[in-house]
Amino acid sequence: MKRIFLVLTTLVFTAGFIGGCLLPFYSHDTAEHLVNLIGGAIRERLGVELRPSVQLSLAIFFNNLKVVLLTLAFGFTIIGPLLVAAGNGAILGLVASYSVLKGYSPLVVAASILPHGVLELGAVLYVIGFSIELGWNFWRSALKGSLGEYKGLLRAAPRRLAPAVLAIFVAALIEGLVTPVVVAWVRGF
């Protein structure tokens, strides 16, 4: 992948994260409402009890895989993947900032994100960057009158995306099985 697409994705994610972090300071009520909506949507979408289990890990994986596939499907728009990056950053920033403001230790908040988040975030940002690259190449190839370069990128997609999907799977296992244990351990301090 061309580095520019990953840099763009990371910048957009970071801007969303900062915006999400700042929202509780500007409108606590709006932040509280959004956090409650997000929590309800997660519980409804996953459809499983939110306690450590393989079932929870699989539900998280398939949800994340669905987001990845939709991001790839809308890559030709270029703006779609950028919105996914900004939205994911905003949600993560909002939930982290709101949790700290509600009295959770920053260490507990970090423990609830970092064990799985490093793998998951890296993989998701890679997929978003690849989606933008697909969109960019689609439009560039279409304007040239030949989709050859775009088709080559599509053929390479499974090979290039397989490590990201594997990372998302491992992150889901960690999120469903390890992260809750780490959070409980950190809360014990």
Which tokens belong to 159? 């090979």
The pLDDT of residue 136 = 93
120 Cβ neighbours under 8 A, 6+ residues apart = 64, 167, 168, 171, 172, 175
The pLDDT of residue 151 = 85
The pLDDT of residue 50 = 64
By C-alpha distance, which of 112, 128, 124 is closest to 169?
124
Rg over alpha carbons for the chain, rounded to the nearest Å, is 18
The pLDDT of residue 41 = 75
pTM: 0.89
The pLDDT of residue 48 = 61
The pLDDT of residue 1 = 63
Other C-beta atoms closer than 10 Å to the C-beta of 48 total: 15
CB distance 125 to 67 below 8 Å: no
The pLDDT of residue 188 = 80
Q: How do residues 42-84 score in pLDDT, each as one tens digit?
A: 777 766 666 778 888 888 899 899 999 999 999 989 999 999 9
pLDDT tens-digit profile, the chain (189 residues)? 689 999 999 999 999 999 999 999 999 889 888 888 887 777 777 666 667 788 888 888 998 999 999 999 999 899 999 999 999 999 999 999 999 999 999 999 999 999 999 999 999 999 999 999 999 999 988 888 888 878 888 898 999 999 999 999 999 999 999 998 898 899 887
The pLDDT of residue 11 = 97
The pLDDT of residue 68 = 93
Rounded CA-CA distance 8/37 in Å is 28
The pLDDT of residue 49 = 65
CB distance 65 to 122 below 8 Å: no
